[in-house]
């Protein structure tokens, strides 16, 4: 075994996660965990069933091996192309870092970076309409503390359109519940933004904190589970799914939608757009780095306008009487008479 080659890979992985992603790129914990899982799967695949991942050398992770790994993801693990692309994105990022740190592996890195992403079918952006949002909130049993927590949590998500990762790490001290109320959110790349709160949302959060006996200035985690630990992304997904299932009994349209916590973010964007808020403001509201990311909601709004147009009666009535040119079978004569 070439311990020098193995140590290069180990040092590069260590620097990639502890320095490059964390310090230089300031990537979120969610992204770092996704990259970690992708490279962990790759190392296990490359080492084989009974092999030792620590014995893998840089040269073992060539383009041919990476392609075999990607094929394994789709055929054996039944991953969709979108998931396959996520794994490849992590591999690309690591090899870009490796090439910069160890130029002797530049050619190998370029071959890996040349592996293309697969085309994927873009899914329809699922969102909740206003009546569906109200139905979900009304389905929550607010007679219990967990129910009041869920009501405050989902109300805050609908108000801000925040990412779930931004909500799970939210602290009480990030809230400003005096007039004008707002919340400080930390988005991707540790970018901070202030999002305004409706007075109703601020009142809900104030009541929730009073019930918990927590002072608004305390740097404590805002939303916790029944064990007192902070809620996870998966926990919020379960909370939303539970209340959507209950609301769907009264509003069947909810049964036909693929909804998850990110759908709330889409719902907020569509609600703002239909209220006449411009795309630039919505982009800042949601923490989009570029307004181009927000443009996808335009299609949703246009579709809503088409549906409204179809329900409305036309204001212009077209006469069914044939035009003079149709009455005159001699088109040339009609043209000359103009």
How far is the first Cα of the chain from the last one, in angstroms, to the nearest whole number?
Answer: 92
Annotated active-site residue 14? The verdict is no
Annotated active-site residue 97? The verdict is no
Q: Which of 20, 97, 208, 297 is catalytic?
A: 297
Q: Which of 92, 148, 265, 271 is catalytic?
A: 265
Q: Which of 163, 243, 266, 271 is catalytic?
A: 163
Annotated active-site residue 32? The verdict is no
**Exposure string (b/e) for 215-253, b if CB count within 10 Å is 16 or more?**
eeeeeebbbeeeeeeebeeebbeebbeebbebbbeebee
Annotated active-site residue 288? The verdict is yes
Torsion of CA 289, 37, 53, 85, to 10 degrees: -60
Q: Are 29 and 14 in contact (CB under 8 A)?
A: no
Annotated active-site residue 208? The verdict is no
Q: Which of 30, 260, 262, 274 is catalytic?
A: 262
Q: Which of 176, 188, 224, 233 is catalytic?
A: 188
Q: How many CA atoms lie within 13 A of 173 on its CB side?
A: 4
Q: Largest alpha-carbon pair distance within the chain?
A: 95
Cα separation, 156 vs 222, in Å, equals 11
Cα separation, 93 vs 66, in Å, equals 13
What angle, 0 to 180 degrees and rounded to 10, lies between the N-to-C axes of helices 145-160 and 233-247?
A: 100
Active site residues: 163, 188, 262, 265, 288, 297
């Amino acid at each position: 075994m070439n311990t020098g080659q193995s140590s290069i890979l180990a040092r590069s992985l260590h620097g990639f996660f502890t320095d490059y992603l964390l310090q230089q790129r300031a990537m979120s914990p969610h992204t770092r965990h996704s990259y970690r899982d992708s490279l962990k799967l790759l190392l296990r695949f490359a080492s084989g069933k009974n092999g030792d991942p620590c014995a893998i050398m840089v040269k073992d992770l060539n383009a041919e091996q990476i392609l075999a790994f990607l094929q394994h993801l789709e055929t054996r693990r039944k991953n969709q192309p979108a998931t396959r692309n996520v794994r490849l994105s992590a591999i690309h990022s690591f090899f870009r870092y490796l090439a910069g740190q160890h130029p002797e592996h530049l050619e190998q890195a370029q071959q890996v970076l040349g592996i293309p992403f697969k085309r994927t079918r873009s899914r329809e952006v699922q969102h909740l309409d206003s009546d569906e949002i109200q139905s979900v909130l009304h389905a929550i049993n607010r007679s219990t503390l967990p129910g009041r927590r869920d009501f405050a949590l989902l109300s805050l998500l609908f108000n801000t359109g925040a990412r779930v990762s931004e909500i799970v790490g939210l602290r009480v001290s990030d809230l400003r519940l005096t007039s004008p109320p707002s919340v400080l959110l930390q988005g991707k790349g540790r970018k901070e933004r202030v999002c305004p709160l409706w007075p109703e949302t601020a009142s809900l959060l104030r009541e929730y904190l009073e019930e918990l006996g927590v002072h608004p200035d305390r740097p404590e985690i805002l939303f916790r589970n029944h064990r007192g630990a902070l809620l996870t992304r998966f926990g919020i997904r379960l909370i939303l799914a539970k209340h959507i299932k209950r609301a769907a009994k009264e509003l069947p349209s909810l049964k036909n939608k693929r909804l998850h916590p990110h759908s709330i973010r889409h719902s907020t964007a569509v609600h703002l757009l239909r209220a006449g808020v411009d795309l630039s403001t919505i982009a800042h509201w949601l923490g989009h780095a570029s307004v181009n990311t927000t443009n996808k909601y335009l299609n949703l709004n246009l579709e809503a306008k088409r549906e409204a147009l179809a329900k409305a009666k036309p204001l212009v009535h077209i006469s069914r009487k044939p035009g003079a040119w149709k009455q005159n079978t001699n088109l040339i004569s009609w043209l000359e008479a103009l």
